[in-house]
Amino acid sequence: MLESFIIGGQAVLNLQGILMMILGVVIGIVFGAIPGLSATMAIALFLPITYSMSPIMGITLLVALYIGGISGGLISAILTRIPGTPSSVATTFDGYPLTQKGQGAKALGVGIVFSFLGTIFSTIVLIFLAPQIAKVSVKFGAYEYFAVGIFSLSMISGLSGDSLVKGLFSGLVGCIFATVGMDPIASVERFTYGVIDLKSGFNILPALVGLFAISEILFAAEKAKFAKETEVIKVDIKNIKGFGFSWKEFFSQKFNFVYSSIIGTFIGILPGIGGGVSNVLAYTAVKNRSKYPEKFGTGIIDGVVASETANNASIGGALVPLLTLGIPGDTVTAMLLGGLTIHGISPGPLMFTQNVDIVYSIFITMIVGSILMLLIEFYGLRGFVALLKINKAYLLPAIFVFCTIGSIGLRNRMFDVWSIVLFGMLGYGFQKLDIPSSPFILGFIIGPMVEVNLRRGMMFSQGSFMPFVTSPIAAVFLAATVVSISFAAFKQYKKMKPAKASTTN
């Protein structure tokens, strides 16, 4: 292994390689931080450029963009309550309240450090356990993914806030929006009304940008019109020491960290879902097992730690099936796969023996890249906080512009721009009615995964439901779902008067 590291090191730890990493991480952070632009987009944009580079330089740049992009989302999530990428949705839950309390710098510091640790954790898993994990993960088929999907949907309960009904409603609307377009198995059109643009359905990015960014902008606009004084958030830049939090606070998060890292890595390994889901799941899971779940959402670092650890841990997780089986774990790794294929490298069972230089240069890029990310974000910390001083009247229109650019950049289609307006209005309506938006995102991502795997499973079993419960892995997840739902229903029941209890079901 040491020898392999030396081979990888020689390939990537040179001037050009380091420059690629710095470039990738910086651009990734910028793309991640700006709502509307995402890690996926940064990679899509730079992928064609890497075609003309050597395979190792190309992949180094892409991996660095990935790391920077996933982490960068925390900046706007914490400071403006607009997640920069789908991976930072849960970061807003406690990150923004911290900012409102004047502890924005602390929230950023925590987010940055745990982004770093999350990446490192999953890199270690990737380096030492990838082939073993691959052997297990390949056992996951339609039945198992269906069960995992159902389990993930049950997490909506944790995101619902005060009303389980409202949370379920939001999640259901998300599932419904995801069904628009051609169905994933037989390409039958659903809810397309003959509109060609609707045939390809809605993309996750416009949905996210609309629900979280555009609705936020609409709200700010409304507030600005009726408020007598503009809301000023205190910023204390001078007194920030280090990352803005104490060792004691750091060590209080150790179990939270381990827990979130494992969830993040696991979700990353599963194809089709990545950081966009893992941050929300980790947040909910950590909240559920916390001694003070009621404090979540009011501005405690635990929430930021869970979300930011998990989303970055998903990076290493997503690379496990990519490098060992040639299966992309999320949209970003799907593009990385394309980047490797272009150079005639096909990830798969022989990758670790035939392309040692590439595999280990990816490992080294992840380690060095996350150190660079830590340093760059550390030195940028004060600058980011200073963003809060910018009057929202200047900041939000700029964000609006970026959201528009980002959505058209996605597929080069105007349709996606109109989509952000649609989802923006939906998000605004949700907020007015006190309906949480994050279950929508979970439903939107997981709904199709559940559908596809249910239908595939039924094809495999020729119409029998039995294998869904007789597969041991699927059975465990389904049992966990029952426990999770009963727990949530019970909590809700306790909260309400017995007379009203019947309406909750």
Instruction: Tell me the C-alpha distance between 364 and 14, whole Å.
Output: 12
Nearer to other proteins, 12 or 458 (CB): 458
Contact 274, 267 (CB under 8 A): yes
Instruction: Tell me the C-alpha distance between 267 and 125, whole Å.
Output: 13
Place of tokens 């996933």: 70
386 dihedral zone (left: phi>0; alpha: psi -120 to 50; beta): alpha
Q: Supply the minimum distance, in Å, between the C-beta of residue 409 and other proteins.
A: 8
Q: Supply the minimum distance, in Å, between the C-beta of residue 248 and other proteins.
A: 34
According to DSSP, residue 54 is labeled -
Place of tokens 């991640």: 32
Q: Supply the minimum distance, in Å, between the C-beta of residue 371 and other proteins.
A: 22
Instruction: Tell me the C-alpha distance between 95 and 259, whole Å.
Output: 19
Q: Supply the minimum distance, in Å, between the C-beta of residue 44 and other proteins.
A: 6
Q: Supply the minimum distance, in Å, between the C-beta of residue 237 and other proteins.
A: 13
Nearer to other proteins, 300 or 408 (CB): 408
Instruction: Tell me the C-alpha distance between 357 and 50, whole Å.
Output: 17
In 3D space, the residue among 286, 308, 386 whose CA is nearest the CA of residue 110 turns out to be: 308
Q: Supply the minimum distance, in Å, between the C-beta of residue 345 and other proteins.
A: 9
Instruction: Tell me the C-alpha distance between 457 and 146, whole Å.
Output: 8
Nearer to other proteins, 31 or 116 (CB): 31
Q: Supply the minimum distance, in Å, between the C-beta of residue 177 and other proteins.
A: 16
Cβ neighbour number for residue 361 with a 10 Å cutoff: 26
483 dihedral zone (left: phi>0; alpha: psi -120 to 50; beta): alpha
Gyration radius from the chain CA atoms: 22
Which residues are near other proteins by CB under 8 A? Answer: 27, 30-31, 34, 37, 42, 44-49, 51, 138-139, 141-142, 181-182, 185-187, 189, 196-197, 199-200, 271, 321, 325-328, 334-335, 337-339, 341-344, 346-351, 386-387, 389-391, 394-395, 398, 402, 405, 411-413, 452, 455-456, 459-460, 462
Nearer to other proteins, 184 or 297 (CB): 184
Q: Supply the minimum distance, in Å, between the C-beta of residue 403 and other proteins.
A: 12
Nearer to other proteins, 295 or 456 (CB): 456
Q: Supply the minimum distance, in Å, between the C-beta of residue 389 and other proteins.
A: 7
Nearer to other proteins, 288 or 461 (CB): 461
Cβ neighbour number for residue 80 with a 10 Å cutoff: 26
- At 408 the three-state DSSP class reads helix
Nearer to other proteins, 313 or 385 (CB): 385
CA dihedral 267, 417, 433, 77 (to 10 degrees): 50
Nearer to other proteins, 143 or 283 (CB): 143
Contact 329, 267 (CB under 8 A): no
Nearer to other proteins, 31 or 93 (CB): 31
In 3D space, the residue among 49, 91, 95 whose CA is nearest the CA of residue 71 turns out to be: 91
